[in-house]
Amino acid sequence: MNLREFQLYVPTTLTDLGSRLNNEIHMVLGAGSEIMKELPVAMRKFDLPNIGEELGDAEWFLCNYANLYDIKLPLYVIPTNPGGISSLAEAVGDIMDITKREFAYGKAEYNKQPVTKEIREKLVLEALLNINNIASSFKIKMEDVRDKIKAKLDVRYGKQQGFSAEKALNRDLEAERKALES
């Protein structure tokens, strides 16, 4: 699945928290936790299916973030060089900082400038590039990862059923892992 197809798919497994800001907070906190908590654990264990899952989950949050601002992502993001987790954390940290400023101060700024759609798009693409750089360094194909994330979410929610809080909280982790390893 290419990135654009994934972007069109991800809203089907998303809960609506009632406002764009609440949904944005959900997306940046989710991306942050995948990158700063889940991914380093998977990398320390050199668990390739889990590394792919965490990168794919981070893409899920970033694609949903892009959807909040009507940012049309490209079909593919081509890795430029193997990048590290610190570059990815910095890119997502920039997005998180914008959301923090918007939430806490009522004003979204980036480098002391008002945040535009173009700035958000640039930062999302930078984060996605870093995800693809990390994947490339592990010889992980993000197209395959996106298919596996969809398969995992189909196991969790059922095909064509969409998000359910009950199913999100009562997951069959063994079945989800099998979907990721298939």
Give the domain extent around 95: 3-181
3-state secondary structure of 109: strand
Q: Tell me how far apart the alpha carbons of residues 135 and 152 are, in angstroms, rounded to a whole number.
A: 19
Residues in the chain: 182
User: What pLDDT does residue 53 have?
Assistant: 96
The string of pLDDT tens digits covering residues 76-106 is 998 887 667 888 999 999 999 999 999 999 9
- Whether 141 has a pLDDT exceeding 90, the answer reads yes
Higher per-residue pLDDT: 117 or 166:
117
Number of Cβ within 10 Å of residue 96's Cβ equals: 19
Instruction: Compute CA distances 85 → 99, 138, 143, whole Å.
Output: 21, 12, 20
pLDDT, average across residues 23-51: 96
pTM of the entire structure? 0.92
User: How close are the terminal C-alpha atoms of the chain, in Å?
Assistant: 15
Q: Chain-wide mean pLDDT for the chain?
A: 92
Which pLDDT belongs to residue 82? 63
Taking CA atoms, 59 is separated from 13, 62, 77, 180, in Å, by: 13, 5, 11, 15
Cα separation values, 6 from 54, 66, 147, Å = 15, 12, 8
pLDDT at 47 over 70: yes
Q: Kindly tell me if the per-residue pLDDT of 111 is higher than 90.
A: no
Mean pLDDT within 160-165: 78
pLDDT of residue 83: 65
Phi-psi group of 111: left, alpha or beta (phi > 0 → left; psi -120 to 50 → alpha; rest → beta): left
% of the chain surpassing 70 pLDDT:
98
> Looking at residues 152-178, what average pLDDT do you find?
87
Averaged over 153-181, what is the pLDDT? 87
Look at residue 109 in the predicted model and tell me its pLDDT. 87
Q: How many domains does the chain have?
A: 1
